[in-house]
Amino acid sequence: MVILLAALLVLVHGPSALAIECIATDPFGLYPNLDLSSFTLRTGDYIVSGADYPSFEWVFNVCAATNWHDAACTPDASVCERMTETKQGTDNYGDFSSGVTVLQRVEKGALIKMRGTACSLNKPYHTSEINIVCDSSLPTPVASVLSESFIDCSVTLQLRGPCSGTPAPPPPPSPPGPPPSPPPPPPPH
């Protein structure tokens, strides 16, 4: 079940990099706020090899630009493709500062969709999706590629890991109260 959310995105300009507070909310109140900033890497990036194209890898960050960049992977990029051996960027698939098109709350996490640079094939832009799956059994996030298509200029990535503000299990039912008191006796005549 996908529930659209209202998102609070506040840019905070630091001395050396841009950071973002990224809180997903559910307007229907079914789920508590989900703070995605716990997935933001201040140093380093998430790097995962291409599923179908092992000579390429995906470099990405959540709610912030990647810490690595070059001419193809600009300083505002959140999702970049680069060649595995040479580490040379090829395309920007998601621009964190102006390319967020969707931020949705889903049952077990959140979904972020972004637009990147122009695509020379079938689409006007490169696009990316990052599926955040809340999984408290993992001490740190684990990245993977769910799908990638150079023809469609798109990639879908997944991060599984602990989330802030995940739903707690419901409380146990409360025990029944004492039985009701019997009615008072009728007044004497």
pLDDT string in tens for the chain (189-residue length): 222 222 333 333 333 345 556 877 776 778 777 888 889 999 999 999 988 889 999 999 998 999 999 999 999 999 999 999 999 999 999 987 777 877 777 788 888 889 999 988 778 999 999 999 999 999 999 999 999 998 899 999 999 999 875 444 444 455 566 666 677 777 776
Give the pLDDT confidence score for residue 171 in this predicted structure.
42
Name the CA dihedral angle for 83, 113, 163, 170, rounded to a multiple of 10 degrees. -150
